[in-house]
Structure 1
Amino acid sequence: MQTRSNFSNKLGFVLAAAGSAVGLGNIWRFPYLAAKYGGGSFLLVYLILTVTFGFTLMIAETALGRKTGLSAIGAFQALDRRFGFLGILASIVPVIIFPYYSVIGGWVTKYLFTFLSGEITAAADNNYFPNFIGETGGPIVWFSIFLLATSVIVMLGVEKGIEKVSKVMMPVLIILTLFIAVYSCTIDGAMEGVAYYLKPSLQHFSVKAILAAMGQMFYSMSLAMGIMVTYGSYMKKENHLESAVRQIEIFDTGIAFLAGLMIVPAVFAFSGGDSSALSAGPGLMFITLPKVFNSMPMGQLVGAVFFLLVLLAALTSAISLMETIVSIIMDRFHLNRTASSLIVTAFSFALGIPSSLGFGRLKHISLGGMSILDMMDFISNSILMPIVAILTCLFVGFIIKPKTIVDEVKETDGTFKSEKMFSFMIKWIAPWFLAAIFVSSIASALGIFAL
């Protein structure tokens, strides 16, 4: 039997887990939602939900992994054989997400090289992005480059690969985020965007805004996809779990907040205060922002730094997704890391091809107007992840009982400051809110109603 890998210390765990949490959703989805749902009001709701719901779910998943020393499938099964299926469901999520996430990572890589090569004016054209993703060979090449980079890091292992890379990438990511945020706020006309982003707007305070904040928090923190269970299984008993999770929250929320300061003021300044320019999804990052960079002084440099930042964020999240799948294969089939990584790379490439071609040769394949990539995203994010999260809360709250998690958290020094909140949230609050997100997202996608 292979010896279980470990992070060398708590800092290694925190940076790797924070890297997993900080991804593309923080960079383009958070600013859009914050602007849409009242700026300061959304930020306040998001912060409250992060330190309550997010903390509760992350503590539960990390403790499950550390207690059992196993990835998702094995962890749930080890604590109650009847719930082995829950580990399987959680494991399916990264298997679906990683291939199409790598396709988007390829787009980011392409844009970084576009800005480095000085083609900023071309990138600012409305047709540049649609034409690029509509090609056959180009997107697949960039997708392959991103996938291979991720694979090499994962193949190097937990301490020499994931931890070492995270210790470099995360500080660089923070520095780049601060640089662009400060620069964006100094642009003429940017302060209007800063005010829009930070000033509470009570008319936008609604059930829909709360659910939007909950959904963003839920997806941003790498919950319900087996990642935190896997990373928890690499965490040493002497590392305090509660403080580690709090530090991950600070990293994730801080980067999301700074991403808003990067994007909202800059877009406002160059769109004449038009908030509709903050459209969701790829349009904001690959169409609107290149126009902004093309219009500002030092635009090529700032754009290149921005896409380097986004690439680092995409890589840290992709590494955690791939590591989760690799860990499952290693635990399940007792293969070594190299063989497991090669298997994951091969099938992720095969599964990613349809998502890459879904905007070109396979454009005719759609469901409800969704492309292949959008369908994969909907299945994983809107269906499987809420179901896994709800079942995890019920599993911890009523099957193994909160005391199992509490005892694991106390393993280090006998303390768990948020024990009462955790026990109450995991049983009586979190499942209902997660169910509301699930129903709302399904209903919205089907066009039934919008809260």
Structure 2
Amino acid sequence: MKEKKSNFSGSIGFVLAAAGSAVGVGNIWRFPYLCAKDGGGLFLIVYLALVLSFGFVLLTTDIAIGRHTKQNALKAFGTLNSKWKFLGYLTFLVPALIMTYYSVIGGWITKYFCTYLVSDGSILSQDSYFTSFITSKVSPIVFMLLFLALTAWVVYRGVEKGIEKFSRFIMPGLILLILGIAIFSLTLSYTDANGTVRTGLQGLKVYLYPDFSSLTVKRFLGVLLDAMSQLFFSLSVSMGIMVTYGSYVKDDVDLNKSINQIEIFDTGVAFLAGMMIIPAVFVFLGTDGMASGPSLIFISLPKVFASMGAIGRIIAIAFFLMMGFAALTSCVSVMETLVANCMEIFHKSRQKMCAVIGIYSLVTAVLICLGYNILYFEVKLPNGTVAQLLDIMDYISNSFLMPFISLLTSILIGWVVGPKLIIDEVERNGEHFKRAKLYCFMIRYVVPVVMLILFLVSTGII
């Protein structure tokens, strides 16, 4: 089989690029909220267990399929078994849907970062500011364009000169920023109007201490489903990204070691995100301050920064710079997957396909922006939540397609192709796959059952 011309230069470049894809805004605005909602340390324990079991299985499968076939996701599954090529088309849909709104969120982050750069940012802490911003007709589109242009530029430069070089610079910076802000959060203290003193260390206890009070089977299942859904957000699995990145990995790279490093990177950043946000929000807003999704980043945290006084602006600039790094590395991986697949479909150059995907991303992102004003509507999703355009795209990609794709992939590898193919790929260079037995058991018996349950729950069937 002909070797692909585009490759990561080595294991470090691959790990940083893959970790950059995995570390996105989902880690930072979703992980802390779920942790606060689901009993602090209880969620952490469940999530860590899932990372070491399900996360490792799904990540190993995607990356090994990519390297074994030297194909992007669109053709990789058909290469394994011609009757399963439809699975490649399903995986292509996920990044195609995610790309419609990810640059919009990146634009929001860019707006907040720029506002803190040129002002004290006090306007951002007002209750109505975020709503007035996203419902305006021009400003969200302008900042989305800035973010999308930078994303397209990185992808345009290619795998080694673009994605890898960018990740080598951005990822260490992201880690240093998030670590610095997390440490600073632990030093905070605040006395409210009632004279109650709240400290960052008390917030850390809220974050780490497992809350087993009123633990029931129903509550535990809720925590389990939250942690599992976060796993998809966190590891970029079942969306073709890791298959595509795996196809760029050279044969002499130790996959076993690289996958372990990606797991550590991603889980470590998610943990630090919780340590960064939960203590800070607890100090200034109490236990009721944790909001879900964008509200946490764009409404709750600006209030926290405003309460810090003069240093709050500096911390806010560092925070939104870090958020921008996280969003950019993830958006680059999504666009790269689309570009790489389209290069194989149409047999055109990277530059031409990057232009085409860029135009697609621009048009669809503008529609998402207009979904908050001119095109605004609400529908009730099968899982019971009320959604508008961005939420619909997110639901279809993350709650519907990704569990379904994981279910089908586990059946393909576990029962059709056989797990030995993946194990042999991991052990290609003679390295021992220590978790091979666990992998076989999980991919054949556990993953299909759990993915089916998660799919049925997320679609409202059960």
Q: Which deviates more, 183-192 or 13-22?
A: 183-192
CA distance in structure 2 between the aligned counterparts of 1:211 and 1:4, rounded to whole angstroms: 40
- 1:189-204 maps to which residues of 2 (within 5 A)? 189-203=199-213, 204=215
Task: Quote the residue 2:296 is aligned against.
Answer: 284
The one-character-per-residue Cα deviations of 1:311-333 (angstroms, maximum 9, x if unpaired) are 00000000000000011011121
Which structure 2 residues correspond to residues 285-304 of structure 1 after superposition, within 5 A?
285-297=297-309, 298-304=311-317
| Identity %, equivalent residues | 47
Equivalent residues in 2 for 1:270-419, closer than 5 Å: 270-271=284-285, 273=286, 275-297=287-309, 298-364=311-377, 366-367=379-380, 369-419=386-436
SS at match of 2:387: coil
1:87 aligns with 2:88: yes
Asked if structure 2 preserves the Cα contact closer than 8 Å seen for 1:16 and 1:162, the reply is yes
> What CA distance in whole angstroms lies between the structure 2 residues aligned with 1:182 and 1:119?
23
* Counterpart Cα distance in 2 of 1:388 and 1:94: 13
Identify the range of structure 1 (275-284 vs 61-70) with the bigger mean alpha-carbon deviation.
275-284
The gaps in structure 1 that reach 5 residues or longer are none
Counterpart for residue 227 of structure 2: 213
| Structure 1 residue 99 displacement after superposition | 1.9
TM superposition shift of 1:416: 1.1
- Once superposed, what is the RMSD of the aligned Cα atoms? 1.3
Q: Distance in 2 between matches of 1:146 and 1:111?
A: 12
Structure 1, 365-374 or 415-424: larger mean CA deviation: 365-374
Q: How many residues align?
A: 443
| Separation of aligned partners in 2, 1:335 and 1:159 | 19
- Asked whether 1:228 is paired with 2:245, we answer no
Offset of residue 111 of structure 1: 0.5
Distance (whole Å) between structure 2 residues aligned to residue 108 and residue 363 of structure 1? 22
Q: How does 1:40-119 map to 2 (within 5 A)?
A: 40-119=41-120
AA at the equivalent of 2:264: I
Is the contact between residue 77 and residue 84 of structure 1 (CA under 8 Å) also seen in structure 2? yes
Deviates more, 1:172-181 or 1:210-219: 210-219
Three-state SS of the structure 2 residue aligned to 1:126 is coil
Deviation, 1:395, is: 0.5
Summarize deviations over 1:92-136 as a string: whole Å, max 9, x none. 100000120110000000000011111411000011110000011
Q: Aligned to 1:439, which of 447, 452, 456?
A: 456
| CA deviations over 1:158-189 (Å, ceiling 9, x no partner) | 00000000001100000000110000010012
Native 8 Å contact 1:185 1:265 kept in 2? yes
2:443 matches 1:426: yes
- For the Cα contact (< 8 Å) 1:367–1:375, is it kept in 2? no
Q: 1:109 to 1:260 in 2, by over 3 A?
A: same
Matched, 1:148 2:162: no
Gaps of 5+ in 2: 190-198
Q: CA deviation at 1:365?
A: 5.6
- Paired with 1:414 and 1:395, the residues of 2 have a C-alpha distance of 25
CA–CA distance in structure 2, aligned partners of residues 359 and 351 of structure 1: 14
Partner of 1:268: 282
| 1:237-252 alignment runs, 5 A limit | 237-252=251-266
One-letter identity of the residue aligned with 1:242: N
- Secondary structure, aligned partner of 1:111: helix
Task: Indicate whether 1:179 and 2:174 are aligned.
Answer: no
Shift of 1:215: 1.1
Structure 2: distance between partners of 1:414 and 1:109: 43
Deviates more, 1:102-111 or 1:363-372: 363-372
Rounded Cα–Cα distance in structure 1 between residues aligned with 2:442 and 2:401: 21
Q: Is the CA contact 2:4–2:70 (under 8 Å) kept in the aligned structure 1?
A: no
Shift of 1:79: 1.1
2:272 counterpart of 1:258: yes
* Mapped partners of 1:218, 1:348: distance in 2: 22
Name the structure 1 match of 2:38: 37
- Matched residues in 2 for 1:394 and 1:2: separation? 28
Q: Distance in 2 between matches of 1:167 and 1:148?
A: 20
Whether the 8 Å contact between 2:254 and 2:431 is mirrored in structure 1 is no
Amino acid at match of 2:89: I
| TM-score in terms of structure 1 length | 0.96
- Cα deviation, 1:297-347, whole Å, max 9, x if unaligned, reads 400000010000000000000000000001101112111110010010001
Q: Amino acid of the residue matched to residue 421 of structure 1?
A: L
The alpha carbon displacement at 1:351 in A equals 1.1
Give TM-score, length-normalised by structure 2. 0.94
Q: Residue 164 in 1 paired to residue 165 in 2?
A: yes
